[in-house]
A and B are shown apart, each in its own frame.
Chain A
């Protein structure tokens, strides 16, 4: 009967129900989009780091992110690292912003990523045309097929200029988007160095692969002892540092999380308001229930069930719309990510939002004097 009464109370006033559901729906869509954008951005920012096969990253001091590593590491650091017990391989990586001159005139920026696939550290993934062998051919680079417009090219085989020299698009990837809006241009290590005008000693990062059985913490300590002018980070630390740089120093992440919090706040206020006014309308019935001897927890359950029902219906409507928006965003500069975990998290969030909203109604109903039943 608790469910029946909650259900009837909820559907009794259709306009109020509509307002409640719109409140929840609005809240869910806003939170889903903001968090989806946040996770989408995070995924973009860390994609290269996640793909790279290295247990530890050696970076120049103060490297703020994957894109801001500089070109400061030399062969000296490489040899010191290789001589450290527990280190199996040390793979150089060159990463840097560079100017891209469009074939038809004008320029934009790219992120040059130089690494030799043969080293087993990093190579372009999700290749949809061309192979690494093609990229190794003269002037070869791989870029993502979603950036033709920004780069002013029309597809495979197009030529352009990066820094000092000519490049030719010989392979295409799918879905390697860049948070900085400067596309990644993958190429062999030596080509990256020469395009950027760096001497053949230099590297941005060294990816350290450990010997089997080596302890990452111990190796890290040993590396830190030997390398005076470099930092040694775990993969997780480097991810966090890049996220911090792009999401928080730039304020983008704060805006996204702030938007999500705003969504939660607005949703909670709307649901609390409608639930409270519904409870007020049904106060006589709750007083009657109390007079008939119901425990106060019975009455609280009716209100919480009303809140829970609103949550479930509102969630389903909100998710339907959120999923449409997520689908529509997939080709865009910043695709929204929706995962089962996020969907579940949103459901839990909706339920708790509605439960918190029920508090004011519960407080109201707790103050009923059952003696009012006779004076009507």
Chain B
């Protein structure tokens, strides 16, 4: 493992709430992400997973600690500079998809490109390309309301990777999906990490997702309590499973 890290977080502390309701959601977390890996962040509800993801995604600022994204330290950056960092280096996938209901699948992807100033024909072509990649070649003109949950999450995946970010962050991407769609999305995330050499971090407490991971980080009560790494060269059994199931469907 000699890849250069794309994200380094050191000693992250985050206090939330005020006064008597104040809690320390993160109590000194260190995380390093490298390209080509799907990392799972697992832990019980309320353990600080979402808070950590928001901080790694430069959406929330830590109370103390430092973050470096693609070589840039976020310390002292203002909201506009953080936004620029996000649109350049980060892709996001949310539990409830967060698609724009008034935009078609294609437009939902295009807007992520537009936000970066990528517009016109090349952007449209790129949006079509990533939608084809996630298996939605025939659903591009559909609106989120006319797509199944699995399809909506795949649009969200397409939106996250359209800008070719080095880091993709996903918060419970399978929580709202049935088993089959959950597996499909995890397989997709794993492919994005390995084939496109991106660093993917997915928050989950769904044990079905375990098989897709290259690395599993366990968090409890705001502290990292353990880490497992899959032996190299081993294929995840669930991926094979899914392929079989797909074939059975066909």
Binding site for B on A (CB under 8 A): 1-2, 4-5, 8-9, 12, 284-285, 288-296, 298, 370-371, 373-376
Contacts and interface: CB of A to CB of B under 8 A. Distances in A.
28 contacts: A1-B111, A2-B114, A5-B111, A8-B102, A285-B98, A288-B98, A288-B100, A289-B115, A290-B83, A291-B92, A291-B98, A292-B112, A293-B84, A293-B87, A293-B88, A293-B115, A294-B83, A295-B80, A295-B115, A296-B80, A371-B54, A373-B59, A373-B98, A374-B53, A374-B59, A374-B171, A376-B94, A376-B95
Closest 10 CB pairs of A and B: A293-B87, A293-B86, A8-B102, A1-B114, A294-B115, A288-B98, A1-B111, A371-B60, A374-B50, A370-B59
A374 B119 CA distance: 27
A240 B58 CA distance: 63
B83 A5 contact: no
B44 interface: no
B154 interface: no
B157 to A, nearest CB: 14
Contact of B84 (A12, A284, A295, A374): A295
A375 B102 contact: no
B90 A293 contact: yes
Nearest to B80: A295
A292 B102 contact: no
A296 B95 CA distance: 24
Interface string B111-140: 110111001000000000000000000000
A373 B57 CA distance: 12
Given A2-B114, A289-B111, A370-B59, A294 B102 contact: no
Nearest to A2: B114
Specify which of A9, A12, A293 lies most central, judged by the most chain B CB atoms within 10 Å of its CB.
Answer: A293
A291 B80 CA distance: 11
Interface string B34-59: 00000000000000001001100101
Contacts of B101: 12, 285
B110 interface: yes
B118 to A, nearest CB: 10
Interface of B: 50, 53-54, 57, 59-60, 79-80, 83-88, 90, 92, 94-96, 98, 100-103, 107, 110-112, 114-116, 119, 159, 171
B231 to A, nearest CB: 32
A128 B192 CA distance: 85
A371 B119 CA distance: 27
Contacts of B57: 291
A133 B60 CA distance: 90
Contacts of A2: 114
Contacts of B50: 374-375
Contact of A291 (B59, B85, B111): B59
Contact of A296 (B79, B92, B94): B79
A376 B114 CA distance: 24
A292 B57 CA distance: 10
Contacts of A370: 59
A295 B60 CA distance: 16
A82 to B, nearest CB: 75
A5 B110 contact: no
A298 B115 contact: yes
Contact of A1 (B54, B60, B119): B119
Contact of B94 (A1, A295, A373): A373
Contacts of A291: 57, 59, 86, 92, 98
B155 to A, nearest CB: 13
A296 B115 CA distance: 10
Nearest to B84: A293
Contacts of A292: 86-87, 92, 111-112, 115, 159
Nearest to B96: A376
A92 B80 CA distance: 73
Contacts of A288: 94, 98, 100
A96 to B, nearest CB: 69
B60 A376 contact: no
Given A292-B115, A293-B84, A374-B171, A5 B102 contact: yes
B100 A5 contact: yes
Contacts of B90: 293
Contacts of B115: 289, 292-295, 298
Contacts of A298: 115
